[in-house]
Each structure stands twice: as C-alpha cells, then as structure tokens.
Structure 1
Amino acid sequence: MPRLARQKKEDAIFHVMARSISEVDLFKDNEDKLHYLSLVKKYQKTYEFRVYGYCLMDNHLHLIIDANGADISRIMHSINFSYAQYFNHRHKRHGHLFQDRFKSKMVKSEIYLYALSAYVHNNPCDIKGYENCPEKYEFSSLSIYLGLRHDPYELVDDGFIMGMFSKNPKKARESYMKLVYKCSDKVFKEEVEFLNEGTEYRSERKILIRNIKTKEILEFIASKLGIKEIKLHTKHCREIVEAKALAVLLMRSLCNLKCSEICRVLGNITQSRVSELSSIGVKLLDDEKYKNITYEFMKEYAC
C-alpha cells in the first residue's frame, strides 16, 4: 500500500513523533538523549527552524517544530539519519532503528498548540518517580518553560507559546503549570518556585523566506571573506574551506537545496564533501565572526 503524502506548509508548526522498532529502545541511556539533542541543535543551525518544545522518552520522542520556511521532511531525515548512524556505531548494531518514518501533524489552531504543548510536557508522568513532578525530568523542555533551568543548547523558543498566556513571566509560568497538571488530572503544585524571571514574553512569529538564489549567496560569501567568487568552484583549495563551508550552509538553509543540488551549483565536489562542509559551517557559527551570518545576508539581500 503506498504511503500517504505528508501534509506540509512553509509556515506550519508541526507535532513530530518518532518511535524505535519494538525490540530496541531509541535511547539506551542519558548519553544517547544528550547526543540526540545535540543533533537537533546542529540541524537547527543548518535549517534555521524553531523548537517550541520536546520530550525524549526511552522508546519514542516528541518535538514541536516551527519549520520556519524549511522542509520538515529534510529536517527530520537529517536528524534521525545522523542519530541512527551514531546509535548503531556506539551500540555495535546494524539495521533500522526507527519504526517506519517519523509522524508529523500540522498545528492548525492556538487551542491545539496549547493542548499539544501540555501533552508533550506531560509525558514524563508515565515514568516512575516523575508521576507528580514532570518538571524535574531532564529530557523535557518543561523545566525550561518554567524557568527552573537554563537551556544548555539554547534550543527552545519558549517565549512564543508562553507569550500567549501572559507577557509577565511569573504569571505565564503559573498559568502554564496549571495547564500541564490539568492535562494529567494532577493538582497544581503551589510549592514550585519559578526562577530566572527575566524580561516579558512576547508572542511573535516571522517566517524566514527560502526563495534565495544561489548566485546571491556565493556573491555575499565571496565579498564577506574577501575572495574571488570563482574560487568557490575550485576543487582542493584549503584557503577557501571556511568560505565554501559557509556557502554550503547558507544554500542548505536558505535555498532548501539537497546535497546533490549543491554539487551541481559548485561543481567538482561530491555529496559526502558537501555534507562534511555543512558540518564545518555549523561549527563556524560558534565563531564570533560568523554567528550572525544568516541575518547579515538576509539584511543585505532579502530586503
């Protein structure tokens, strides 16, 4: 029986769920879960999507993703394929890890988004020891929402959903906690202390336009790094590795191009090398010189 076409829209928010095959846990230990979150962050840098919440259980996971103009299938294939390779290598196994393709459902209303967020954050209540305190579970974003811990990967945009409750962080967190506990038929816990009150929440959402031309990206990178554009098409030139890596990263992010399509743009390059350059580009975003490169490009070319 043929698969049904996945529902997609450029400006959609998705509830994504993935499950492992029945005979193996998706995450064998905390190290696996931490690695999965690091991959979500890696590809967030590549595709510029937003994460509104997550929960990693032993045999399945939930993500709330705002694709921000990117292709949700490409995002999740990148994350899950990389994780399966890591998992099989680390645990010395072969074969499929995920049960079929990931499931995704578009969020079509604010009310559904509220309920979905509470449902995802309520998952730890099924774990022994967390029945009455899901906010203490380390691999859910609930504690980030409640200001109980910092986001180690700076992965989650909690302000969008929380801003729908109140601009005041304390009031928003109290209302949100009540919603989570209401969804689990638990009583709201007065003793939870909200930390890191911070500034007010603002519920704002803008979609990143992905109809950029590759020529514009190559021109921008060549100008920014002070090289001739033709060099970006040169094979085996060590002095332009950074420039080429940033160009590949921006083409994957802003043009929604596959590795094979980038090969055709650059010429004289393999798909594996494009993938490698993309990973180098992600690491370069940690450098102060390049951390805002996407926004610098959009400011110059997408006006």
Structure 2
Amino acid sequence: MPRCARIKPENAIFHIMIKSISEVPFFKNNSDKNMYIDFMKHYKKIYNFKIYAYCFMSNHAHFIIDANGADISKVMHSINFRFAINFNKKYDRQGHLFQDRFKSKVIHNNRYLITASAYIHRNPVDIGEYKNSLEKYQYSSLSVYLGLKKDPFDLVDEDFIMQLLDTDVKKARKRYTKIVYNENKNFEKKIEFKDEKTHYKSERTILVRDFNPDDILQFISEKLAIPKIKLHIKNNRASTKARALSVLLMRCLCDFRCKDICKTLGNISQGRVSDLCAMGVSIIENDEHYRNIVSDFISSYSA
C-alpha cells in the first residue's frame, strides 16, 4: 500500500515520535541518547527549528518540534539517518533501525500543545523509580519546565508553552505541575520551584525560507572580505570558511538540498557540500564573530 503524503505546513508545530524496530532498543544506554541529542543539536543549527519538549525512553522518544518554516521531513530524516549510521557502526550491525517513518501529528491549538507536552513528560511513569518523581528523569525536559534545573542538553525552549498557562513563572509552574501529576497536590508540595525567572515572554515568528542564494553569496563576500567569484572556485583554501558559511546559510534559509547547492556553487560534489555544511556549523559554534551570522543575514536582507 502506498504511503500517504505527510501533512507538513511550514508554520506547524509537530508532536513527533520515533520508535525502533521491536528487536532493537536503539537507546541501549545513556551514550546512545547523548549521541542522538548531539545530532539534534547539529541539525538544529542548520535548520533553525525549535524544540518545545522532549523525552527519551529505551526504544522510543517523543518531541514537540516547531519546524519554524523548515521541512520537518528533511529535519527528521537528517537526524535519524545520521544516528542509524553511527548506531550500526557502534554496535557492528546492519539493517534498519527505525520502525517505519517517524510519526508526526500537527498540533492545531494551544490546548493540544499543553496536553501533548504533559503526555510526553509522563512517559517515564512506568519506570518504578520515577513513578512518583517524574521530574527526576534525566532525559526529559520536565525538570526544565518546573524550574528545577537548566536544560543540561541545551535543547528545549519551554517558555512558549509555559506562557500559555500564565506569564507569571510561579503560577505557570504550579498549574503545569497539576496537569502533569493529575491534580495530585502532594507532588506540588514536594517540588520546590526555583525563582531565576519571574515572567515568561515568548513570541512565535515563522522563518520564511525563500531567500535568494545570490544574496547569501554577496553577503558572505562582503562580511569576509573575499571576492564573490572565489566562492565558486574549487579547492581554494582562502575561501573555504566563506564557502562553508555560504552552504550553511543556503541550507537554512533557501530550503536547499545538497544538489541545489551544487548547482549554485558549481563544480562541487554533494559529499563536499555536506562536509562544508558541517564545517559551517562548527564555525558558528566556536567562533563568536560568526555565531549570529544567520540572524545578521536576515536582518540585512529583510530591512
């Protein structure tokens, strides 16, 4: 039976679930979860999507992802493909790892958004040691929602969902605790909320991915003071950083695939484009001068 086309409007927020094939738990240990998280963080920098909630179990994981104008299928395929390759290499195995495609549901309203996040955060309830202390489960964003600690993985943006409950942080956390723990007041009394925030303020805007690649090349040329023509020259060491940042911006802001970038730059393989994109991510992670290059470009060409 042919697969149905996935519904993926560009302004959607998705409840995503990934699941391994029945005979293989793909999170055998914490290092496997950390590996998947590393790939999520990597592609988050490329596609500029947002994660509003997460929970990793042994054979599945749930996320709430704001695609922020990106193609959710490209996002999840990129993450899952990289993870499957590295998982198989790590455990010396071959074959499929994921059970079919990832499952996704478009979240149509705020009530479903809050309910879905609470459902995700209740996933560890069947693990004995966490049944009465869900907030202590390490690979869930619940403790971040309740202000018990900062996200150790730097993945989640909890403000957007929490401000739907109340802009006052204390009130929002109390209400969310009741939702997750089914109105059980004992849990609310047990949890001591931190007070590092006083108000939630989170506005949602959608990043439109229709920028002109030629404008990107011009922007990079000027920012790095390198002739634009050199961005099209293969194996030019002087232009490698500029080409890497150009590729990253095209992946993020033009909704380009590797083969589209090949056509734009000319005389370059898809493998090299992928390498340059990874290099671009490394540059914005490690060089403060380029950390905000995506927003800098958007500001320059949206004015």
TM-score band, normalised by shorter chain: over 0.9
Per-residue CA shift, 1:36-66, capped at 9, x if unaligned? 1111111110000010000010000101000
SS at match of 1:260: helix
**8 Å CA contact 1:56, 1:140 repeated in 2:** yes
* 2-structure distance, mates of 1:131, 1:87: 29
How far 1:187 sits from its partner (Å)? 5.4
* 2-structure distance, mates of 1:95, 1:207: 37
User: How do 1:116-135 residues align onto structure 2 when only pairs under 5 Å count?
Assistant: 116-135=116-135
- Aligned residue type for 2:273: V
**8 Å CA contact 2:170, 2:198 repeated in 1:** no
How far 1:105 sits from its partner (Å)? 0.6
Aligned to 1:156: 156
**8 Å CA contact 1:162, 1:203 repeated in 2:** no
Aligned to 1:280: 279
- For the pair 1:188 / 2:201, whether they are aligned, the reply is no
User: How do 1:153-302 residues align onto structure 2 when only pairs under 5 Å count?
Assistant: 153-182=153-182, 188-286=187-285, 287-302=287-302
How far 1:35 sits from its partner (Å)? 1.2
- Aligned residue type for 1:251: M
How far 1:92 sits from its partner (Å)? 1.0
Aligned to 1:97: 97
Per-residue CA shift, 1:9-28, capped at 9, x if unaligned? 11000001110001100101
Aligned to 2:68: 68
SS at match of 2:113: helix
SS at match of 1:164: helix
- Aligned residue type for 1:105: K
Aligned to 2:7: 7
Unaligned runs of 5+ in 1: none
TM-score by length of 1: 0.97
How far 1:169 sits from its partner (Å)? 1.4
Aligned to 2:144: 144
SS at match of 2:52: strand
TM-score by length of 2: 0.97
Structure 1 vs Structure 2 CA RMSD: 1.3
- Aligned residue type for 1:195: K
Give the number of aligned pairs.
302
How far 1:280 sits from its partner (Å)? 0.8
How far 1:186 sits from its partner (Å)? 8.6
Aligned to 1:77: 77
How far 1:196 sits from its partner (Å)? 4.6
SS at match of 1:299: helix
How far 1:203 sits from its partner (Å)? 3.5
* 1-structure distance, mates of 2:177, 2:51: 19
How far 1:199 sits from its partner (Å)? 4.0
Which range moves more in the overlay, 165-174 or 129-138? 165-174
* 2-structure distance, mates of 1:92, 1:217: 41
How far 1:77 sits from its partner (Å)? 0.5
SS at match of 2:182: helix
Give the share of equivalent positions with the same residue, in percent: 54
Unaligned runs of 5+ in 2: none
SS at match of 1:154: coil
**8 Å CA contact 2:174, 2:188 repeated in 1:** no
**8 Å CA contact 1:18, 1:60 repeated in 2:** yes
Aligned to 2:88: 88
- Aligned residue type for 1:293: I
Misfit runs of 4+, over 4 Å: none
SS at match of 2:164: coil
